[in-house]
Structure 1
Amino acid sequence: MRAILCRRHGDYRDMQVEEVAAPVPGPGEVSIAVQAAGVSFANILAIAGQHQNRAEPPFIPGTEVAGTVLACGTGVTGLAPGQRVMAALPRGGFAEQAVARAEVTCAIPDSLGFAAATLFPTIYGTAYTALVAEARLEAGETLLVHGAAGASGLAAVQLGRALGARVIACASTPEKCRAALDAGAAHAVAPGEFREEVLALTGGRGVDVVFDPVGGAAFTQSLRCMAPEARLLAIGFASGEIPQVPANLLLVKNIAVIGVYWGYYTGWARQPPSARARRRVAEGFAALFRLFEEERIAPLVQAEFPFDRFAEALGIVEGRAAIGKVVLTP
């Protein structure tokens, strides 16, 4: 099969599309004929050897795929060859075939295209778990979303709106702000000194929940425009800067910082997920598919690229030019 192979950590432009042996599913696993694979900044970090889930070369990058089941390993139930599915995997997605654990492989609605389906295994899964299971976002609350035009940010904007929250989007360009507003945000602000604008929009009270995949200065300023009993969701550090938490602010404002590492839920972490976490994944995907079929969320795919143009696809993500998802197709 054809696959994009990382033979050494470094620049993704040094990789090549190569012929490799097709993977075989083991117990509890399924093999998938990949029709689409999502591209993310995490892929770039993994290729560079800088991701927390460090893979030693040679390896095939790619953590989100959609396609059809080819075969099932022993002990797999509820999935069968020919079924349309999506899956989250620690690596191996940038290939014509991939193997995923059955428990993080999920059948998708017939109305959901393969490219759009790549947003669900990690992007929508993270946003739903963060906002619903962790922050317990309620209708009428105010949600601030950073990186609001990226795939994760747009998912959070759409879900916040669907849950009845008032969403304030933070995005870096007028085009990205417009995309967030079109996705359901009530207001859009620019990064930088957004604190005063957010406080003005909330009558001085501050926001109830912050969805932050950016970190750095966005995290620090967010702590200063949060309402009492607010929750800040630390999703990632796309800025490249891991912030420090001033505990005095948590104390005097009764606010909480909640880390949301999706890899724990998908079984990529060192500690296996709890039974409660596994239930959250299953319940979350069921709820997300209902929202999709009710047209309350709409996965946005910016562009699709064939495998031979993988460097161009990764370059769009690296350059922060993506609005929605960039996808590779074998």
Structure 2
Amino acid sequence: MQAYRIVASRGPANLTRIATPEPGFGQIQVRIKACGLNFADLLTLEGRYQDIPSAPFTLGMELSGIIEKTCDSVDNLAVGDRVAVFSGQGGLAEMGVFDSSRAIRIPDEMSYEHAAAFQIAYGTSHMALDHRARLQPGETLLVTGAAGGVGLTAVEIGKLMGATVIAHARGADKLAVAQQAGADHLIDDSEDLRSRVLDLGGADVVYDAVGGAAFKAAFRACKPEGRLLPIGFASGEVPQIPANHLLVKNLSVLGFYIGGYMKFRPDLVRGSLTQLIAWYLDGRLKPHLSHVLPLSQVAEGIELLRSRRSTGKVVIRTGD
């Protein structure tokens, strides 16, 4: 089968042919239909991600497909089930073997492309805003990088949860995408973020996928008792947080990494995905896919993330 793999530590990734893996204890074999790309895939390729598997390994953190085989120890899933898998690795391939605990059935109404783009972006935003920040109806939510993979879902979910949403992004086209997802106010990257947010009354919750200068400005635009969620650092700069400023406004900075929850509270992740799929079936969530590419063009998909030319999600179609 074909797989997009890193063979040596910090080495390049290439599309290559490898043997089809067989399921072991507690595992399922999945014929992969689609794989969602994430900024973390780019960081992994550059050796900058916080949770890089040991080489060799196949890239691709989330996928969808059909179960081809199961181990006798698996009793919650069956051959033929349509599933989404929060794999962590292995999604950019034609076939894969994964722990059954990382798989969830998907409804017939959900396409494989939507399912592959769903788990990390929507799961991150829902758990961060609901479980960690406790976002309340009527509060003001500021989202930086609001047209990106996770940022756009934060706009959508924040609006669904009853917040007033301020979207911050680069350029009119990206801001238009955020507006379509429900943003109430739009701030271009060329504007003074701090002053614009303060003019709107300040932020109760900040969902920051950018880091760097955007985080610093958002930090200073918080209301008293504001909560900040550092979700990612697309700018390349991890901000340093002045603890004395936290004291003055009684601010809270809440770390969130959905991969960590998969290890110590997978029940929360599964519960979140169950809720999100229900919202999807009700038509309340509409995944935005800017590009759907074949496996042969995975490198081009990664470049779309690197150059920040995509909006929402980039999905790689790995099978027919």
Common fold by TM > 0.5: yes
Report if aligned partners of 1:223, 1:249 keep a CA contact under 8 Å in 2: no
Q: Which residue of 2 aligns with 1:52?
A: 50
Correspondence 1:322 to 2:320: no
| Among candidates 230, 237, 243, match of residue 233 of structure 2 | 237
Unaligned 5+ segments in structure 1 are: 268-272
Q: Which residue of 2 aligns with 1:2?
A: 2
SS at structure 1 position matched to 2:224: strand
Correspondence 1:145 to 2:143: yes
CA distance in 2, matches of 1:60, 1:70: 19
SS at structure 2 position matched to 1:52: coil
SS at structure 1 position matched to 2:223: strand
TM-score (norm 1): 0.92
Q: Which runs of 4+ in 1 moved over 3 A?
A: 8-11
CA distance in 2, matches of 1:9, 1:149: 32
Correspondence 1:298 to 2:286: yes
TM-superposed CA distance for 1:74, in Å, is: 4.1
Correspondence 1:76 to 2:64: no
CA distance in 2, matches of 1:30, 1:227: 48
Q: Which residue of 2 aligns with 1:19?
A: 17
Report if aligned partners of 1:9, 1:48 keep a CA contact under 8 Å in 2: no
SS at structure 1 position matched to 2:299: helix
Supply the AA of the counterpart residue of 2:242. Answer: P
Supply the AA of the counterpart residue of 2:122. Answer: Y
Correspondence 1:259 to 2:255: yes
TM-superposed CA distance for 1:132, in Å, is: 0.5
Correspondence 1:247 to 2:243: yes
Q: Which residue of 2 aligns with 1:167?
A: 165
CA distance in 2, matches of 1:72, 1:229: 49
CA distance in 1, matches of 2:127, 2:99: 20
SS at structure 1 position matched to 2:276: helix
Q: CA RMSD, aligned part only? A: 1.4
Percent identical among aligned pairs is 39
Report the number of matched residues: 317
SS at structure 1 position matched to 2:58: coil
Q: Which residue of 2 aligns with 1:195?
A: 194
CA distance in 2, matches of 1:79, 1:3: 25
Unaligned 5+ segments in structure 2 are: none
CA distance in 2, matches of 1:10, 1:133: 35
Correspondence 1:99 to 2:101: no
Supply the AA of the counterpart residue of 1:249. Answer: H
Q: Which residue of 1 aligns with 2:210?
A: 214
CA distance in 2, matches of 1:117, 1:128: 16
CA distance in 2, matches of 1:215, 1:16: 30
SS at structure 1 position matched to 2:57: coil
Q: Which residue of 2 aligns with 1:270?
A: none
Report if aligned partners of 1:49, 1:55 keep a CA contact under 8 Å in 2: no
SS at structure 1 position matched to 2:183: coil
Supply the AA of the counterpart residue of 1:5. Answer: R
Report if aligned partners of 1:6, 1:60 keep a CA contact under 8 Å in 2: yes
